[in-house]
Amino acid sequence: MKILPYFLSLAALGLFSPVLSLAAPLEVGADAPTVKTVDQKGNSVDLGKELSEGISLVYFYPKADTPGCTKQACNLRDAFEDVKKAGIKVFGVSADTPEAQLAFAEKFELPFTLLADKAGEVIAAFGVPASDRGFASRQSFLIKDGKVIWRDLKANPTTQAQDAIAAAKAE
């Protein structure tokens, strides 16, 4: 079959990839993106404004209500009092619809905001790699007063809250 070598050639040249987002993830010290999206209830969220003051965790996950993503969200939920005591606002981001995010939040009683990034604009603004189906890589960014102060490009779903708290305390 001649199609496979063609795609392999394109991939080798960097012209074809199963990953849509080709920008590098934001570096520590970078400005937080000024992008807008909607939350799980369909409300508009100006992420640039939300991230301009205080400390915020913006964490990316592939798909709502899947095993790893549920572990990550429930780790944050279970440690949420400690997260709040550390002064951290939490925003979970995936390319799911607001309806899927709301169902996920309600099913697991998540006390923080989930952002529905169906168009992938937030994912792209942070430079988070995403598959050709829009599934974001599991990455996390801690933002303080509009600047990235920490990032975890291989976020651990079972220690997400503890890792973010430790990073905030180290700042």
Q: Enumerate the active-site residues.
A: 69
Q: What is the DSSP secondary structure assignment for residue 21, as one 8-state letter?
A: -
Nearest one of 55, 80, 40 to 160, comparing CA atoms: 80
3-class DSSP state of 60 = strand
Q: How far is CA 11 from CA 35, 124, 131, in A?
A: 30, 20, 14
3-class DSSP state of 75 = helix
3-class DSSP state of 6 = helix
Q: Are strands 88-94 and 147-152 parallel, antiparallel or unpaired?
A: unpaired
Task: State the DSSP H helix or E strand holding residue 56, giving kind and residue range, or none if neither.
Answer: strand 55-60
* Residue partners of 53: CB distance under 8 A and separation at least 6: 145, 146
